[in-house]
């Protein structure tokens, strides 16, 4: 049975998009589609159901599920009287974002911070090394501040974090107004050339 017979058009479009985007996010197409299917499914699914719906081999589904479990993006569930394993995505979208951000930080950001810390302990011997170390310090300080900010946001209730994210546009408009008052325009533009505040 073709894929279009297993999923309604809207669901199919979502699943296909996640497959296409997978490589850009560092996962393969199969894993992206499995995750998308579990995310929009109203019920936990077992590997056979996933394989049939997406027309993937059972072994590809098993490997994909293991990768998603390693990322902590799916949960294992058992059904009474059924020996098969069922999988579901967390229901809370904020939790999904938090887990994904934590995993990317652990896999990508922390190794970079560790390398930068080690490099900053070295004593530069040439002007080129002094220049490189100064640039590394700037990078380290920015990443370190972002991670501190991220840790603080992680402690907030989801509702508060969403309100904080919504403040971005408001803060931008306040800073533009401040620039108008002080005579400083964005990127050196004259204040009278800035767009009117909404």
pLDDT of residue 193: 46
User: 10 and 58, same structural domain?
Assistant: yes
Q: Could you tell me if 114 and 47 lie in one domain?
A: no
Cα separation, 184 vs 165, in Å, equals 26
pLDDT at 159: 77
80 and 43 assigned to the same domain: yes
Among the listed residues 39, 20, 31, 38, the one whose alpha carbon sits nearest the alpha carbon of residue 66: 31
| Contact indicator for 117, 144 with CB cutoff of 8 Å | no
Domain count, the chain: 2
**Contact in structure between 69 and 52 (CB atoms under 8 Å):** no
Note the pTM of the prediction, 2 decimals.
Answer: 0.65
15 inside domain? yes
The residue from 36, 56, 88 where one domain ends is 88
pLDDT at 198: 43
Whether residue 7 sits in one domain with residue 84: yes
pLDDT at position 177 is 73
Would you say residue 173 lies in a domain?
no
**Final residue before a domain boundary, out of 88, 116, 140:** 88
Which residues of the chain carry a pLDDT beneath 50? Answer: 1-4, 187-198
Tokens representing residue 149 in the block: 């900010």
Provide the Cα torsion 22, 93, 51, 76; round to 10°.
Answer: 120
Instruction: Report d(CA 73, CA 17) in Å as an integer.
Output: 18
Q: Give the pLDDT confidence of 57-88 residue by residue, as tens digits.
A: 999 999 999 999 998 899 999 988 999 999 99
Q: Is residue 65 part of a domain?
A: yes
- Give the DSSP letter string of 135-170: HHHHHHHHHHHHHHHHHHHHTS-HHHHHHHHHTHHH
Assess whether 133 and 155 both reside in one domain. Answer: yes
Range of the domain at 66: 3-88
Same domain, 105 and 120: yes
Same domain as 128, residue 75:
no
Q: Are residues 77 and 104 in the same domain?
A: no
- The verdict on 80 and 99 lying in the same domain is no
Same domain, 8 and 69: yes
CATH for 29: 1.10.10.10
The predicted structure's pLDDT at residue 184: 63
- Answer whether 60's CB lies under 8 Å from 86's CB: no
Question: Pick from 57, 88, 119: which residue ends a domain?
Answer: 88
Instruction: Tell me what percent of the residues of the chain surpass a pLDDT of 90.
Output: 49
Residue 184 lies in a domain: no
**Residue 143 CB neighbour total at 10 angstroms:** 16
């Amino acid at each position: 049975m073709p894929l279009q017979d297993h999923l309604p058009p809207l669901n199919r479009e979502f699943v296909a998009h996640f497959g296409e985007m997978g490589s850009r996010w560092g996962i393969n197409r199969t894993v992206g589609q499995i995750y998308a299917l579990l995310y929009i499914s109203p019920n936990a699914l077992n590997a056979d159901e996933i394989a049939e719906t997406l027309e993937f081999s059972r072994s590809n589904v098993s490997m994909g599920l293991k990768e998603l479990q390693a990322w902590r993006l799916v949960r294992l569930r058992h059904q009474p009287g059924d020996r098969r394993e069922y999988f579901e995505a967390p229901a809370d979208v904020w939790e999904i974002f938090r887990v994904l951000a934590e995993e990317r930080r652990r896999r990508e950001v922390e190794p970079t911070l560790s390398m930068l810390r080690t490099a900053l302990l070295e004593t530069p011997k040439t002007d080129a090394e002094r220049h490189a170390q100064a640039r590394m310090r700037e990078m380290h300080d920015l990443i370190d501040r972002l991670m501190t900010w991220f840790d603080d946001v992680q402690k907030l209730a989801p509702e508060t974090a969403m309100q904080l994210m919504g403040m971005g546009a408001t803060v931008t408009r306040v800073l533009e107004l401040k620039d108008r008052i002080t005579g400083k325009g964005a990127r050196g533009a004259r204040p009278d050339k800035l767009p009117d505040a909404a």
